[in-house]
Amino acid sequence: MTDNFAEPTFNIPAAILGWLLPGAGHWKVGEKARGMLVLLGVGGLFLLGVLVGGVDCVDRREDGMWFIAQAGAGGLAFATDELNTAVLKSGRVGELLPLAVQSGTVMVSSFKGAGPANEIGTLLCGLAGMMNVIAVLDVLYRPCSGAKKGAVE
């Protein structure tokens, strides 16, 4: 008895590339237009989130649960988190102000967001991360564009 089902091929390098930079995985397998559209969608959503909420809306130490979703956008999320640490939390931009908390006093940036803008920005960046996970899963099973033409026919 023969089996007609083809073994699924996992395109792991393309998936890793697609996670690091949204759309790069599709670009690697020859789907350049698709890759650009994924970059436009995921990158646009992420940038909109950072524009609305500021870089503080991506913070893997203070908003760890949200960062799990945001980390789906890979390089974008980690770079924004690093930017937040290097620019805002260090006090390089804005000023560090004392904030009384239960365990004492902590220093927070005067640019730190605490209102709806920060919440919406966090949500939009999280959505971008989850959309990129879908794109990464797609490219994981996507054969190179030359091989796909034969498979479709």
Partner 1 sequence: MILQAAYIPFLQPMPTVAQWWWLLLIPACAAISVTWKAVRLDTLEHFWRETITMTVHSVLAMAALAAALMVLLRVVIPMLPMP
What are the DSSP E strand ranges found in 66-131? 96-101, 104-109
What DSSP string runs through 33-58?
HHHHHHIIIIIHHHHHHHHHH-GGG-
> Around 29, how many Cα atoms within 13 Å sit in the side-chain half-sphere?
29
Question: Is the Cβ of residue 61 or residue 92 nearer to partner 1 in the bound state?
Answer: 92
Segment lying near partner 1 (by CB under 8 A), choices 7-15, 62-70, 87-95, 98-106: 87-95
138 lines the binding site for partner 1 (CB under 8 A): yes
The rounded distance, in Å, linking the Cα atoms of 72 and 69 is 6
- Does the protein bind partner 1 through residue 1 (CB under 8 A)? no
Question: Nearest distance from residue 102's CB to partner 1, in Å?
Answer: 24
Tokens of 3: 């089996």
Binding site for partner 1 (CB under 8 A): 26, 33-34, 37-38, 40-42, 44-45, 48, 50-57, 87-88, 93-94, 97, 110-111, 113, 115-118, 120-121, 124, 127-128, 131-132, 134-135, 138, 152
